[in-house]
Amino acid sequence: MSKKAFIFDLDGVIVDTAKYHYKAWKKLANDLGFDFTETQNELLKGVSRVRSLEILLEIGNVSLPEGEKTKIMQDKNEHYLQYITKMGQEEILEGMYKVLLYLKKNNIPFSLGSASKNARLILTQLDLIDLFDAIVDGNDVSKAKPDPEVFLIAAQKLNANPKDCIVIEDAIAGVEAANIAGMTSIGIGDKKALNAADINLDSTAELTIDMIKELIKN
């Protein structure tokens, strides 16, 4: 039996930053003269910043020159960072701190595998950054999920075989990326939307230590 390794997505798995992304994208949409709903925000989960802006502009039926897009993405990020810099450990999603500590104590390697370019800052805010054996985020990849690049780099950094990696994801594109990488995928959230996952859980609270023990055994 070869050694298992875990790869965690960030937004929607370790912390709910989607609500802050939403506030910042909504302000941008409103400034451009259209509304942006929470339902529409679902489309941005797990998607890169550039792709998020494209989707938002499609929703508002707005087209902008490239230079302007860069500028408003910077503005959006600055607004988003105002929320992020106020975050603390109390925002870690239910059960996740316990899971990370269990893995650490038992010498089971784990990495972050996130699309966010702010991932290191967020993990620092949550006081989790030193727990991770590796961090792969939006700054380290050239292709966004569902491309498996982010997870394959994470496996490499952990010295793990992709087939021994277990990915925890909340986004359809993330589950797809894990499957393409040949890893075990655990989907957190809507079972219908994430039906491609090997294992489905309603929330992070269901990712128990007993389940982790089972996953390590198999």
Give CA–CA dist 218/215, Å, rounded.
Answer: 5
179 lines the binding site for ligand B16 (CB under 6 A): no
Give CA–CA dist 154/6, Å, rounded.
Answer: 9
Residue closer to Mg ion, measured from CB, 53 or 112: 112
189 lines the binding site for ligand B16 (CB under 6 A): no
12 lines the binding site for Mg ion (CB under 5 A): yes
Q: What does 157 interact with, of Mg ion, ligand B16, none (CB < 5 to 8 A by kind)? A: none
Site string for ligand B16, 110-149 (x = CB under 6 A): ----xxxxx-------------------x-----------
3-state secondary structure 53-88: HHHHHHHHCCCCCHHHHHHHHHHHHHHHHHHHCCCC
Q: What are phi and psi of 111, to 5 degrees?
A: -130, 160
Give yes or no for a cis peptide into 146 (omega within 30° of 0). Answer: yes
Q: What does 52 interact with, of ligand B16, Mg ion, none (CB < 5 to 8 A by kind)? A: ligand B16
Residue closer to ligand B16, measured from CB, 80 or 216: 80
Q: Give the C-alpha distances (Å, rounded to integers) separating 169 from 136, 198, 201.
A: 14, 11, 10
10 lines the binding site for ligand B16 (CB under 6 A): yes
Task: Give the footprint of ligand B16 on this chain (CB under 6 A).
Answer: 9-12, 21, 44-49, 52, 77, 114-118, 138, 171
Task: Please identify every residue annotated as catalytic.
Answer: 9, 11
